[in-house]
Amino acid sequence: MSKSFLLPTGICVFAISLFLVEHLFADPPEPTEFKGVLKSLQRGILVVTREDGSEVTVRPPDDVWDLEFVASAKPTFLQAEMMVRFESTYEKKTAHVSGEKITHIQVFQPIAGRIPSHLWKKFISGVFPVPPKKNQPPMPTASCKVNGVLMGLDASGTMLLQVGRLPFELQIRDDTRFEICFNNLSLAEEGDTVSVTGSYQPPDEKKIKADRLTITTDRIFEELTEATPRRTSRRSSRRTKKTEVEQNEPVEFGAESTPEAKPQQDP
């Protein structure tokens, strides 16, 4: 065997040995959890000033649903085709979903790609019954979660959604609270509060890999790019179509649902 062959082979063996030693005998990742303030964003990496004054870099979670930006919003922030979610109730006998007494509406964005089965009900348009608590006595109504696409919001506070394949109306109350919950960093800014659960590779505790990342802010969003969409001239025709569909076709439930829920009926 020639020396010219042995030399590159020896280098490869040495490199592989170093790699194995480095990874087999390296210290395991250390878990960490902290809060801080966002200083900057650099190519998708967050620079965060922790509560003790030290600066660290934070790499976002691998899965986008483990990253959340949460903020309060005004109704004027809403735009057509945005997605919203809220909790409501439905009548077990008639499968009628209530559009009243909705006090919390969350604005979210769809996620591209595959979503784990235990999370898809958070992002798919439809009505999803909430399993009753253990030993809960029978009730004529039950809780459900509703996801829909915003079609319009008029001056009286009536919100029109597309839920599953059908339109659905709900009335905004004076105490209805709007909240943004985006699974990205598009609205994050310097000074926002950052909560991190993750790990670092010793001895470098300044480079954090996040498993869970939540960004909150005291900023209140009143507008995105244009005014709130209004639906006036087409409203009467939409109502007629809605009544006809209600008599023949239910709102789609999830795979594990029991009854079929119908959108709120007009008085």
Segment 163-205, tens digit of pLDDT: 999 899 999 998 999 999 999 999 999 999 999 999 999 999 9
How high is the pLDDT of residue 227?
A: 37
d(CA 164, CA 238): 16
3-state secondary structure of 1: coil
* Per-residue pLDDT band at 82 (split at 50, 70, 90): very high
- The rounded Cα 205 to chain-centroid distance in angstroms is 29
What is the pLDDT averaged over residues 94-106?
Answer: 89
What is the pLDDT averaged over residues 80-84?
Answer: 96
* Per-residue pLDDT band at 100 (split at 50, 70, 90): confident
Query: For residues 201 and 57, is the Cβ–Cβ distance under 8 A?
Result: no
How high is the pLDDT of residue 222?
A: 93
Nearest Cα to Cα of residue 262 among 97, 85, 86? 97
* Per-residue pLDDT band at 211 (split at 50, 70, 90): very high
d(CA 162, CA 149): 5
What is the pLDDT averaged over residues 127-156?
Answer: 90
For the chain, give every domain's residue range.
29-267
Average pLDDT, the chain: 80
Dig out the tokens for 16 from the structure: 């592989």
How high is the pLDDT of residue 147?
A: 97
- Choice between 261 and 43, residue whose per-residue pLDDT is larger: 43
How high is the pLDDT of residue 104?
A: 97
Q: Over 80: is that where the pLDDT of 243 sits?
A: no
- Choice between 223 and 189, residue whose per-residue pLDDT is larger: 189
Dig out the tokens for 58 from the structure: 């934070």
* Per-residue pLDDT band at 87 (split at 50, 70, 90): very high
Nearest Cα to Cα of residue 198 among 99, 97, 66? 66
Q: Over 60: is that where the pLDDT of 255 sits?
A: no
